[in-house]
Chain A
Amino acid sequence: MDRIPILKLGNALLVTIQVDMHDRLATALEQDLTDKIVTLGAKGVLIDISALEIVDSFIGRMLDNIAAVSRILDADTVVVGMRPAVAITLVELGLSLSGVKTALNVERGMALISQKAEAEDGHADGED
């Protein structure tokens, strides 16, 4: 497998990582995701890593990068379903992913994104 599928779900993109991430796969995902955000005009990116058992600093940095890029393109990144062991590892590595939003599962992650979208809509309505 040389590509991770990116699914469109409403105005958000859903990425489910179900294989061990190696560095080239991570770079490819970063690229694809950036392209998709622009072409589809997505407002949020959900990255489900509940199946990911091993993370290293590279993957951690990739998540941070994706978040930074999406922010520039006006999309929120939510990382969902991180395992306890993975969370501890990332903290020990000194990566707190401060630019990334997190949620316990995809459902809550979606809620977070739609909440933000609604807030923006409301704001826009108010301006009209």
Chain B
Amino acid sequence: MAAGDTATIARLVTENENEILPEWINLQKQAGALQTGRIKETELQTQSREFLHLLRDGLAKGGNDATHASYGPARQFLGDVSRSRALQGFSPTETATFVFSLKQPLFNTMNRDKTMSPAALAKMTWDITLLLDELGLNTFEAYQKTREEVILRQQREIAELSTPVVKLWDGILALPVIGTLDSARTQVVMENLLQHIVDEGAAIAIIDITGVPTVDTLTAQHLLKTVSAARLMGAECIISGIRPQIAQTIVHLGVELNVVSKATLADAFAIALKQTGRSVTKVKAVAEKADNRASEKGN
């Protein structure tokens, strides 16, 4: 493929830039690029102009092969645009329209040039179609990749957020587990808990499973693993927050939970305090004061 044909297009683009650009931007507006208010008109204009220039530079020597090195900057720019649009919440169609809507203004420009033979015109049309389709696919790939990155990041964040280790008292930690416990999460939970036991020098860890919707044999096994690991490090585990249905399920499944278990976190905390030689008592003074006040009023 001789670069000569596309070089002609490049020349045409340079000569007619002032017509192509407004037409293209208008088409994008019609397609609803500005409707959602996620992007400003000036930004759209800047992006369009820059891409047109980059494309023209590529056309001057690149031929109709979009993977050619001379289209590198154009591809790079498109990747950036679609990445930012994916993050801004544009739909796939809206993102892809940016490239595809450039076809019509380019074709119109070629049609207006009366010096060209029909054969040359057809060849040029084909070149541009090929090129813009390829670039459009690139755009889409970049868009998709960004979305996947977002999803991955969110998954990681959820995994981290849902396994906080809280310090209830000196040497007493609590781990409220929320959501289903699968193998991957158990690993994170376990490592998290054990590291906190070391950092805090905790003697007792309470694993609260109020937020675990179902407990099957696998979940129970994971729980027991965590408990054993904590015991090996020298900390005792208490499991709390076992709901009535879950208690029934565990018994029906024949799973033996050979650990101290309590119905609520409060009960578990009370036991933990007792084991570390502490107790919670009512401050009598408050009650007596209230009584005194009542009697004074009576007098």
Measured CB to CB, the residues of A under 8 A from B are 79-84, 86-88, 90-92, 96-97, 102-105, 108-109
Contact = CB atoms under 8 A, between A and B. Distances in A.
16 contacts: A81-B234, A82-B232, A82-B234, A83-B233, A84-B191, A84-B197, A87-B229, A88-B190, A91-B225, A91-B229, A102-B234, A104-B201, A104-B202, A105-B201, A105-B234, A109-B234
Contacts of A103: 234
A88 B191 contact: yes
Contacts of B230: 87
Contact of B235 (A88, A90, A97, A104): A104
Interface in B183-235: 190-191, 194-195, 197-198, 201-203, 225, 228-235
Q: Which residue, B195, B203, B225, B229, has most C-beta atoms of chain A within 10 A? A: B229
Interface string B221-262: 000010011111111000000000000000000000000000
A104 B225 contact: no
Nearest to B232: A87
Nearest to B171: A104
B232 A91 contact: yes
B174 to A, nearest CB: 17
Nearest to A105: B201
A38 B230 CA distance: 32
Given A88-B194, A102-B233, A102-B234, 14 more contacts: A79-B234, A82-B232, A84-B191, A84-B198, A87-B194, A87-B230, A90-B229, A91-B228, A102-B232, A103-B234, A104-B233, A105-B201, A105-B234, A108-B234
On chain B, which size bracket covers the interface? 10 to 19
Contacts of B198: 83-84, 104
Contacts of A105: 201, 234
B223 to A, nearest CB: 12
A104 B228 contact: no
A104 B203 contact: yes
The 5 closest A-B pairs by CB, nearest first: A84-B194, A103-B234, A102-B234, A104-B234, A87-B232
B230 to A, nearest CB: 7
Contacts of B201: 104-105
A103 B203 CA distance: 8
A102 B236 CA distance: 9
A112 to B, nearest CB: 9
Contacts of B197: 84, 104
Contacts of A91: 225, 228-229, 232
A93 to B, nearest CB: 11
Contact of B229 (A79, A81, A88): A88
A88 B227 CA distance: 10
Contacts of A88: 190-191, 194, 229
B191 to A, nearest CB: 6
A87 B232 CA distance: 6
A84 B233 contact: yes
A102 B191 CA distance: 18
A86 to B, nearest CB: 8
A109 B232 CA distance: 13
B234 to A, nearest CB: 4
Contacts of B229: 84, 87-88, 90-91
Nearest to B203: A104
A86 B235 CA distance: 14
Contacts of B228: 91, 96
A24 B234 CA distance: 27
A102 B203 CA distance: 11
A19 B4 CA distance: 73
Contact of A97 (B194, B202, B232): B232
Nearest to A89: B229
